[in-house]
Structure 1
Amino acid sequence: MLTDTQKKALDQSIYDYLAIHHPSVASVLASSTDTVTIPAADAPPPPPGPTLLEKKWSSVLRLQKKVLDLEAQMKRSGVGMKGAGGTLQAGKMLPAFDQPPKQSRGHRGGGITSCAIHPTHNTIATSGEDGAVKIWEWETGEFLQTLKGHTGGVQDVAFSGSGHMLASSSADLTIKLWDPEKNYQCVKTLRGHSHNISRVRFIAPNDDHLVSCSRDNTVKFWEASTGFCTHTVEEHEGWVRALAVRSDGTEFASGGNDSYINVYKISSKEITTTLSGHDHIVTSLAYPPLPPASKSPDPATLNLLISASRDKTVRLWDTQTGSNLHTFTDHDNWVRDVIIHRSRNYAISVSDDKSIIIWDLKNKRKLRKCEDAHGHFVTCIAMHSSRMILTTGGVDNVMKSWVVK
């Protein structure tokens, strides 16, 4: 599915090609659409060589060959491209730190704060302390557009489960909703927090409800269609920095400066468990993604939650019993962000020690570490639920897309 910008670029490249090879057909196309720009009569002729359409076609052929090569490689290694449910099997599919990542630059100032991968489009969204939200193409790392509207540093970005909406939260006290199908037009601005908004997440299974947390010590629930705040939770004793929503939409967790993690039932907004163990600020929380429809989840991962903290640790929790299942201690500085791999067998964290670490959750050990992953603190990480895409961002204002295999 193409965005409006991609559709316009495709129309223009087709017109440019036809204008050179089939002028009469090009004139028909120009009269039937308003998305192409017709050069002035006195405009210089196009330079010799392949047109944009021909270049795009060549890149498609190269991509097709790459896919065939990957399929052959996976077949040789015994990994199927599709499982019974028609989705990419989880396998290991972990970042290969022995291969250089694609690098994208565009943010300025204090660094990239968050990154999110669109569930169906080939795009990544990043937010920065420069007040910008930027959209990139994940395959090439090409910059696509900047979303302007926030007047303060943007702290977080999150796509809805269907990809029909992108949410961003900012130090300007607002949450903005952007529509990818309308060239990321801002369709709603949510106001109600009285301080910096640290995180925003959509609540499964639909796109119409969100939850956010803030330096005003609160967690707020929102209705996207109206922009109204429907509920406020005031259970923390300080800045609420971290937020996660369980994939089935039944539970959420929050953490922050008071070092506690509160687990709530979404239906009642009441605390069911308080997790204590960190001795510094809780910076990130993550639930495991849903397993494929054809596969029942491992009972051991049903109530799993993972947390990262400025105490340099990553902790594994059982939200039903409140027990700390394990503490990982291999980072040498604040841990900024953590995610759980789609297989539910691994976690990946990033830190101010500039590293990325992959954790083996079953065997409770460090599996792989990438030293100096960025030139400065690594602030955020995101992984696609089914495609082989993993991206990180840092204070160095660089977004990196890592090879996954």
Structure 2
Amino acid sequence: MVVLLLRPFTRSPKLLNLLNTCLLFLTLLDLFQKTYTLTQPFHLLISSPHLSCCNNVSAWPCPHRQAKDRTVNPSILFPKHFLLFIAIIPHITKLHFKFTLIPPPLSLCFYRSEKAILDFLSSQGYSQSFQALQAESNNSDFTPNPNDRHHNLLAKKWTSVIRLQKKIIELEGKIEQFQDKLKNTAFAPKASKDSKLLLPSAPSLHTLNQHRAPITKVCFHNIHSVIATASEDMTIKIWDSETGDFEKTLKGHTKAVHDICFDPKGQFLVSCSSDLTVRIWDSQNDYKNIKTLHGHDHSISSVCFLGPDKIVSASRDKTIKIWEFSSGYCVKTISGHSEWVRYVSVSEDSKLLITASNDQSVRVWDANTGECKHDLRGHDNVVECALIAPISTYQHIYNLIGINQRSSQPQTPGQFFVSCSRDKTIKIWDSSGQAVFT
């Protein structure tokens, strides 16, 4: 119930605005009434240009409908109904509410908790526990009542806690996702060690959609506008790189295709698979499968051309095999790794091989003799890929590692090697076997 003491001029628009403001004020107070207690009376400050001073008019809560003394007990919860005494003055220009609300004191929380526990014990039939707690608590006169506000309060609170915990977990997960996006998004400042803001690259020209499983390798033709893709769906697909048009599907492998490579002249395409085979496809004869090479005892993870007349492959059987292109025979098997050989690559002059393995090592081999030239160790996890740096990159590597080297000095392939690992690092090695940059 609200009592307003008004002057006779209630038709004034400003008074109507004031009444609306008061109603909004009362509504806000009603929202707090179940949660907060008052520490002091409300003060309404009403000012007018016709007054030389401000009039302070107070509003007192009416706990349990007793407001004669107009005092506030801070420990009494603010009730739903209160009396508001306010004086209205013509030409009101300012209305200001000043009040302080605080959470209920701990004593009131304990009092309610005891009632909720007593209600739970009574509803579950724990009569002895109910009587014991009732005797020791301040609620000796408590009588369970299904219509009481404490009925099933524990169950409701427990459900609320579980719901809030679930919400907290969801929000924490979203925060982690957004933090990861902030750090890992391409060109984001936080994704860079020096926090430089990089310009984004141009948008993609084409999106190629045909494979039905993850794509394991993409390879560009050396001469023509052709792209070949390998997939775990056991197929190789040929695309036009200029238009993005799909051209052909190469079928023959019976398990996932892991690697593909065009020969230097671009006539042949070689592929390897978990079906233990290496297949050669003739691009000038509608990509016909002209040879299938057998010899590995486990999945073949990598394959490439070694010059114009040889093929080299790496396998999970811990070996590297060199094949003669014309006959399809294995002419050399290289052993040395103690675990799965994941990748093999060839130097520009086809004299060196480099391999990466699950044994956390990178090895450099003589392609003619099969001798291990370097055993590069320093990674702390599986090494996924390794390459022999082309001569054209040497000057950039010198600049990266801080060495002044003239480009006019004689340079040969095999001076630098690069490897990447699951330990989240990329290492550059020199011909002495030392990691010169990480």
With the length of structure 2 as denominator, give the TM-score of the two structures. Answer: 0.50
Match of 2:421 among 309, 313, 333: 309
- Work out the number of aligned pairs and report it: 227
Partner of 1:104: 208
CA deviation profile, 1:248-285 (whole Å, cap 9, x unmatched): 11101111110111111111110011000111111111
Would you say the 8 A contact 1:248–1:290 is kept in 2?
A: no
Would you say the 8 A contact 1:122–1:139 is kept in 2?
A: yes
SS of aligned partner of 1:105: coil
* Greater fraction helix: 2
Partner of 2:313: 212
Cα distance between partner residues in 1 of 2:331 and 2:237: 29
SS of aligned partner of 1:150: coil
Whose RCO is larger (CA < 8 A, sep 6+)?
A: 1
Partner of 1:257: 358
Q: Which amino acid aligns with 2:306?
A: I
Cα distance between partner residues in 1 of 2:413 and 2:263: 23
Would you say the 8 A contact 2:391–2:413 is kept in 1?
A: no
Structure 1 unaligned blocks of 5 or more:
1-94, 328-405
Partner of 1:39: none
Within 5 Å, which residues of 2 pair with 1:239-388?
Answer: 239-289=340-390, 291=392, 299=411, 303-318=415-430, 320-327=431-438
The answer on 1:203 being equivalent to 2:306 is: yes
1:282–1:113 Cα change, 3 Å? same
Cα distance between partner residues in 2 of 1:258 and 1:151: 28
Q: Which amino acid aligns with 1:219?
A: I
Cα distance between partner residues in 1 of 2:199 and 2:248: 29
Would you say the 8 A contact 1:171–1:196 is kept in 2?
A: yes
Q: Runs of 4+ in structure 1 displaced over 2 angstroms?
A: 95-98, 287-292, 295-302
Partner of 2:249: 146
1:96–1:256 Cα change, 3 Å? farther
1:97–1:131 Cα change, 3 Å? farther
Would you say the 8 A contact 2:391–2:412 is kept in 1?
A: no
Q: Which amino acid aligns with 1:323?
A: Q
Cα distance between partner residues in 2 of 1:107 and 1:235: 36
SS of aligned partner of 1:181: helix
CA deviation profile, 1:339-358 (whole Å, cap 9, x unmatched): xxxxxxxxxxxxxxxxxxxx
1:273–1:296 Cα change, 3 Å? same
Within 5 Å, which residues of 2 pair with 1:147-166?
Answer: 147-166=250-269
CA-CA distance at 1:105 after TM superposition: 1.1
1:302–1:212 Cα change, 3 Å? closer
1:298–1:277 Cα change, 3 Å? farther
CA deviation profile, 1:277-312 (whole Å, cap 9, x unmatched): 1111111112234649xx978849851211111111
Q: Which amino acid aligns with 2:437?
A: H
Q: Which amino acid aligns with 1:176?
A: R
CA deviation profile, 1:293-332 (whole Å, cap 9, x unmatched): xx978849851211111111111111x20011111xxxxx
Cα distance between partner residues in 2 of 1:97 and 1:140: 23
Partner of 2:292: 189
Cα distance between partner residues in 1 of 2:226 and 2:409: 29
Would you say the 8 A contact 1:291–1:297 is kept in 2?
A: no
Partner of 1:116: 219
RMSD between aligned alpha carbons? 2.1
1:226–1:290 Cα change, 3 Å? farther
Cα distance between partner residues in 1 of 2:409 and 2:356: 26
SS of aligned partner of 1:104: coil
With the length of structure 1 as denominator, give the TM-score of the two structures. Answer: 0.54
SS of aligned partner of 1:189: strand
1:146–1:289 Cα change, 3 Å? farther
Structure 2 unaligned blocks of 5 or more:
1-197, 394-406
Q: Which amino acid aligns with 2:295?
A: G
Partner of 2:338: 237
Cα distance between partner residues in 2 of 1:289 and 1:142: 32
Q: Which amino acid aligns with 2:212?
A: R
1:185–1:97 Cα change, 3 Å? farther
CA-CA distance at 1:96 after TM superposition: 8.1
Q: Which amino acid aligns with 1:315?
A: K
SS of aligned partner of 2:243: coil
Amino-acid identity (%): 39
CA deviation profile, 1:72-94 (whole Å, cap 9, x unmatched): xxxxxxxxxxxxxxxxxxxxxxx
Q: Which amino acid aligns with 1:317?
A: W
SS of aligned partner of 2:360: coil
1:103–1:290 Cα change, 3 Å? farther
Would you say the 8 A contact 2:293–2:329 is kept in 1?
A: yes
Cα distance between partner residues in 2 of 1:241 and 1:312: 17
* Greater fraction strand: 1
CA-CA distance at 1:98 after TM superposition: 2.7
1:301–1:246 Cα change, 3 Å? closer
SS of aligned partner of 1:126: strand
1:296–1:226 Cα change, 3 Å? farther
Cα distance between partner residues in 1 of 2:388 and 2:199: 23
Partner of 1:341: none
CA deviation profile, 1:11-32 (whole Å, cap 9, x unmatched): xxxxxxxxxxxxxxxxxxxxxx
